[in-house]
Amino acid sequence: MYTKILAPLDGSKLAEQVLPYAGALAAGLNISLKLFHAVDLRPLSIADPMTARYFDYEGLRTESENYLQELGAPLRSEGVHVSIEVAEGTPEQAILSELEQDPNALIAVTTHGRSGLSRWVLGSTAEKILHATTNPMLVIRSYEEDSAPHNVKLEKLIVPLDGSRVAEQILPHAIAVAKALRLDVYLIRSIPSSGEYHRYMEEYVEAGPDPTVGSRSSGLYEEFSNTASAQIQEYLRKVGDRFRAEDVFSVHEKILEGSAADAIIELAHETPNNLIAMTSHGRSGIGRWIMGSVSDRIVRYSHDPVLMVRATE
């Protein structure tokens, strides 16, 4: 499904925390990992044009190439095919240009970084890329430097769903990754808690019934919960059959209760070595959730890598 993994780096230790995850995924999928660094020369020219004329551009490029080669060496020793590239321009422009040439590349980024060789903040760059590209993304929430994991082993794939076709756009990606890495798959969907249900009922005025979660006309949460659970279980079973038809290693269906983001984060905290796969936005409503805000919370608080696909309507 992916031609390669692109890992943009800014010279910071925080940004480099994506490498163990990107390396594990590249090895499992048997694809190459490209380490990428952008050299932005504009600030030099703007700050002091005369000095910029005599600046050692080739020296800066060589420094960047040596930096990437040094990072690639341990990955190569583990059998990962690693290439490097140093491009000129702003980070977001250089990265987006690279992705436009290869729409099937998976980009791997941390959610924020510190200034480094080219002085850019990876968090804002990652956000710009997410909104500008349709390429899939592997997003890592960076750790404090002394607590970052060095050896990564992925064992479980968590796939949150909300019943919408938009959310299901993650399924081909999840199936491909689960098969290649032989991951234990958990298909999950949350059901509103009693408090969430009653708050929604108080606000509900005009919309018609949602067949995926039972009749909204009933104010009885127990009746709603029983009907919704049965329908959701059947829905998850059908989705699970798609994975089983592709000979995915192990598939489980699980219904969670309460806030979707909190329920998913709690599940992720129960076991280590998870990969979460989801779309970047979805629909809202009772029994559905806005995946943009949910995915943001999951990246921030689960401490698990998130394979994120920007959904299209």
Find the Cα–Cα–Cα–Cα dihedral 273, 305, 136, 242, rounded to 10°.
40
Q: DSSP label at 273?
A: S
| 224 shares a domain with 139 | no
pLDDT at res. 130: 66
- Look at residues 129, 147, 165 and tell me which one is the last residue of a structural domain: 147
Instruction: Specify whether 295 is located in the same domain as 173.
Output: yes
| Strand-pair partners of 189 | 255
User: Does one domain contain both 268 and 194?
Assistant: yes
Q: Which residue has the higher pLDDT, 48 or 202?
A: 202
Has residue 227 got a pLDDT over 60? yes
What phi and psi, each to the nearest 5 degrees, are found at residue 118? -115, 10
Q: Are residues 163 and 298 in the same domain?
A: yes
**183 and 83 in a common domain:** no
pLDDT higher at 149 or 94: 94
Secondary structure (DSSP) of 174-233? HHHHHHHHTPEEEEEEEE--HHHHHHHHHH--S----TTS--TT---HHHHHHHHHHHHH
The confidence band for 88, taking pLDDT boundaries of 50, 70 and 90, is confident
One domain, residues 187 and 122:
no
d(CA 297, CA 265): 8
Same domain, 176 and 268: yes
**Percent with pLDDT over 70 in the chain:** 76
Can you give the CATH number for the domain in which 179 is found? 3.40.50.620
Mark whether 278 and 224 lie in a shared domain: yes
The DSSP string of 49-112 is HHHHHT--HHHHHHHHHHHHHHHHHHHHHTT--EEEEEEES-HHHHHHHHHHH-TTPEEEEES-
Given this model, what pLDDT does residue 205 score?
44
pLDDT at 279: 87
d(CA 200, CA 212): 16
Lowest mean pLDDT among 90-94, 130-134, 197-201, 255-259: 197-201
CB 86 within 8 A of CB 62: no
Give the least confident one: 38-42, 148-152, 209-213.
209-213
Cβ(64)–Cβ(13) under 8 Å? no
Last-in-domain residue among 147, 179, 200: 147
Question: Same structural domain for residues 302 and 162?
Answer: yes
What confidence tier does 224 reach under pLDDT thresholds 50, 70, 90? confident
- Evaluate if residue 94 carries a pLDDT over 50: yes
State whether 133 and 181 are in the same domain. Answer: no
Residue 280: DSSP 8-state: S
Give the Cα separation of 158 and 187 in Å (integer): 6
Structural domain total, the chain: 2
Other residues' Cβ atoms within 10 Å of the Cβ of residue 44: 15
pLDDT interval class at 161 (50, 70, 90): very high
What pTM did the predictor assign? 0.82
Look at the alpha carbons of 122, 125, 131, 135 in this order and tell me if their dihedral is positive or negative: negative
Q: Is the pLDDT of residue 97 over 60?
A: yes
Q: Based on the fold, state whether residues 160 and 67 are members of the same structural domain.
A: no
pLDDT at 289: 43
Does the structure show a pLDDT above 70 at 258? Answer: yes
Tokens of 197: 């249900």
Cα–Cα distance measured from residue 221 to residue 257, given in angstroms and rounded to the nearest whole number: 13
Q: Is the confidence at residue 280, as pLDDT, over 80?
A: no
Q: Please say which residue of 126, 147, 168 terminates a domain.
A: 147
Q: 54 and 184 share a domain?
A: no
Domain with 258 in it = 156-309
Quick: pLDDT tens for 9-63.
Answer: 988 888 898 999 999 999 999 999 999 998 876 655 554 555 555 556 778 889 9
